[in-house]
C-alpha cells in the first residue's frame, strides 16, 4: 500500500466545507471518500466511491474540483500529489 500516492483536498465556502480523499482500503482497492457539511458543525455527510484504479480516482477528483469551483467553493488545502492537469 503506497500512502504517498494518497490525495486529500478541501474546499470551503462561507459556512460550508467539502473534502475529497483518494486512498486505498485494507485490500489495496482505491476509494474516493467525499465529506461535506457546515463548518464548525458536528453533523455532516460521507460518501465512499470505489474506483477501479488510482487514475480513475484522480479523474474523479478533478471532476469534483471543477464542480466545487463552479459552485463558488475555494480550494484551501491539498495534501499529496495532485495537479488539475495530471492523469
- In this prediction the pTM is 0.85
Average pLDDT over all residues of the chain: 90
* Residue 8 pLDDT level (bands cut at 50, 70, 90): very high
CA pair distance 75, 73, nearest whole angstrom = 7
Residue 52 phi/psi, 5-degree rounding, is -65, -25
What confidence tens digit (pLDDT) does each residue in 32-60 have? 999 999 998 888 999 999 999 999 999 99
Q: Which domain CATH number covers 47? A: 2.20.140.10
Domain presence at residue 36: yes
Number of domains the chain contains: 1
Of the pLDDT bands very low, low, confident and very high (cuts 50, 70, 90), residue 83 is: low
In a domain, 19, yes or no: yes
Question: Following DSSP, what letter does each residue of 32-77 receive, concatenated?
Answer: EEEEEEETT-S-EEEEEEEESSHHHHHHHHHHHHHHHHHTT-EEEE
CB count, 10 Å around CB of 48? Answer: 11
Amino acid at each position: 500500500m503506497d500512502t504517498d500516492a494518497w490525495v486529500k483536498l478541501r474546499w470551503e465556502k462561507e459556512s460550508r466545507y467539502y473534502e475529497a480523499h483518494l486512498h486505498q482500503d485494507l485490500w489495496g482497492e482505491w476509494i474516493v471518500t467525499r465529506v461535506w457539511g457546515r463548518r464548525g458543525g458536528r453533523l455532516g455527510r460521507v460518501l465512499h466511491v470505489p474506483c477501479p484504479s488510482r487514475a480513475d480516482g484522480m479523474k474523479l477528483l478533478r471532476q469534483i474540483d471543477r464542480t466545487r469551483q463552479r459552485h463558488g467553493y475555494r480550494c484551501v488545502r491539498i495534501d499529496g500529489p495532485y495537479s488539475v492537469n495530471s492523469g
